[in-house]
Amino acid sequence: MKHIHTFESFLHESKDEIKFSIDDDKLDQLLQAKFGKEIDYKDVKGDSYYVLNKKAFDRFIDLADSSGFDVDYDGSENSVVYVYESHKEVNEL
């Protein structure tokens, strides 16, 4: 049996948010140039973080990785992207 995604689940997926910061000026400029219209900002304890939905964040990470930036935010000490927090609705099927 094949699972079919509904339009409602697609909308929920697009609302997933990733809060992150960038520790590289060139990557920051790339983010602003390519995703400037999609970026939101959140202040957390005096620090400001970028916010993108999960889909846009994944596209940004792919672009940054293919441009030679270390964006392995899950395991690299040298990563220039730090993910603060992600919010995701969990839909149980």
Q: What would the two tokens of residue 50 be? A: 């970028």
Average pLDDT over residues 67-75: 85
Identify which has the larger pLDDT, 19 or 72.
19
* Domain definitions of the chain by residue range: 18-87
Secondary structure (DSSP) of 33-79:
HHHTTT-EEEEETTEEEEEEEHHHHHHHHHHHHHTT----TTT-TT-
The pLDDT of residue 77: 80
Element housing 29 (H / E): helix 25-35
pTM: 0.71
Q: What is the pLDDT of residues 12-54, one digit of tens each?
A: 554 589 999 999 999 999 999 999 999 999 988 888 999 999 9
The pLDDT of residue 6: 55
Residue 86's pLDDT band (cuts 50, 70, 90): very low
Q: What is the pLDDT of residues 52-62, one digit of tens each?
A: 999 999 999 99
Average pLDDT over residues 75-79: 79
